[in-house]
Amino acid sequence: MKDYIFNVHDVVLLMTAAECLLLSIFQQVLPIRARNYGLLLTAFLLIVATASACTLVMWNDQFQVAPLFGQTLLPYLLFGALMLKGPAIYLYVSALTQQNLRLQRHHALHLVPALLLVLYLFIFDLSSDDLRRIAIAGQGFPESAVDLVWDISTAVPLAYALAAVLSLRRYRGELEDEYSHFSTTELHWLNILTYGVLISWGWTLAVHVLAKYSSVETADLLGIADNYVTFILINAFFAYSLSYAHQLLVTRPSSSRESAPGEPSDSAITKVRQAMEVEKLYLKKNLNLEQFSGRIELPAKEVSAVINKHFGTNFFEFINSYRVEEAKALLADAGRADMTVLDVLMESGFNSKSAFHRFFSRLVGMSPTEYRRQALNKKEVASV
């Protein structure tokens, strides 16, 4: 009877490593795009490939390698990769959401946790058997030292995943401060992927904790589930890179985002209000903060201060609230009853049905169709 080297779960790890290598190669032959995130995605793919391959070799007893590599070098590769996958995903998200991000010297600080853990392995001379908690006759392994290695290698990536999620939340806030309209599809999918990583690595930490208080079989099953999730996420990230990543909007560099000092002046408030109520700049589709500030001849940071401090909102909400009021006037006009809802949203400055319905329902408390019906019925009753 044949002895199988790999079971089906090992094959998932093997496929993950192989696919990451192929996707990283494919990523490099894609046409160069304006924003530099391809290199960081490639780095992430190669790191995951290394971690998957090392995990497979370490935990598969049927897969024989040279003792020098299997016992001595393998832990450095595995835990180096586990510690670097967090910085890789965080920097990838940063490159997607920041304008012209370039790797600089201070980014090298993200390597420090990995280097420290590798140094820790070297100082305690921890082998693969030690890390698997396999005791060899005449030799013991420091359990507390082994526990600390696994604790750090699961907690640090999770912290970076959380940082990536927070970075995306900040990015959305910046978009709302700068644009009156933006597509949420690309950002929505990136949110799903980033939260997927956070949940996956949170699951890894939970498995690590549960393994201390459950049977070996249960811990193995939980760990295997994590391998499947990783395989799915890798494919999802690459598909996102091909389909959506290049469509994300850029925001202004942080140096130009400084708030205007003090409270906004009365003249600035008047200019902003006049631009909305008299000139009706909100009717311009895809209006952004720079265009708006240019039309009223005020610095962008001063306009932002007026909207944030005086009106108590952001540019996105500010412009669209005026558009909703314009839409209400059109819907309540009996002379325009033949206009479709699509005509109304376009004429009021919106260019997205989903954004229009979302804002209208939230601000008015009913759908545009229901609002029109009620408004026209009231006018009919009043005229009788």
Q: For residue 373, what is the domain's CATH number?
A: 1.10.10.60
CA–CA separation, 329 vs 369, rounded Å? 13
Final residue in a domain of this structure, among 204, 223, 247: 247
Residues 105 and 146 in one domain: yes
Q: Which residues of the chain have pLDDT under 50?
A: 1-6, 34, 137-138, 255-256, 260
Nearest to 222 by CA among 9, 23, 45: 9
257 in a structural domain: no
Final residue in a domain of this structure, among 247, 271, 293: 247
Global pTM value: 0.82
254 in a structural domain: no
What does the pLDDT read at residue 6? 45
Which amino acid would we find at residue 373? R
- Is residue 45 within 8 Å of residue 20, measured between CB atoms? yes
What does the pLDDT read at residue 319? 94
Residues 242 and 341 in one domain: no
| Count helices and strands in the chain by DSSP H and E runs | 16, 0
Domain with 237 in it: 8-247
Residues 153 and 266 in one domain: no
Residues 101 and 192 in one domain: yes
Say which residues have a Cβ less than 8 Å from residue 149's Cβ, sequence separation at least 6.
79, 117, 120, 121, 126, 131
Residues 223 and 305 in one domain: no
Count structural domains, the chain: 2
Residues 227 and 365 in one domain: no
CA–CA separation, 278 vs 255, rounded Å? 32
Say which residues have a Cβ less than 8 Å from residue 176's Cβ, sequence separation at least 6.
314, 315, 316, 317
Residues 373 and 230 in one domain: no
Handedness of CA 128, 223, 77, 155 (dihedral sign): negative
What does the pLDDT read at residue 68? 84
Residues 217 and 303 in one domain: no
Question: How many Cα atoms sit within 13 Å of 150 on the Cβ side?
Answer: 20
Query: If DSSP codes are grouped into helix, strand and coil, which group holds residue 315?
Result: helix
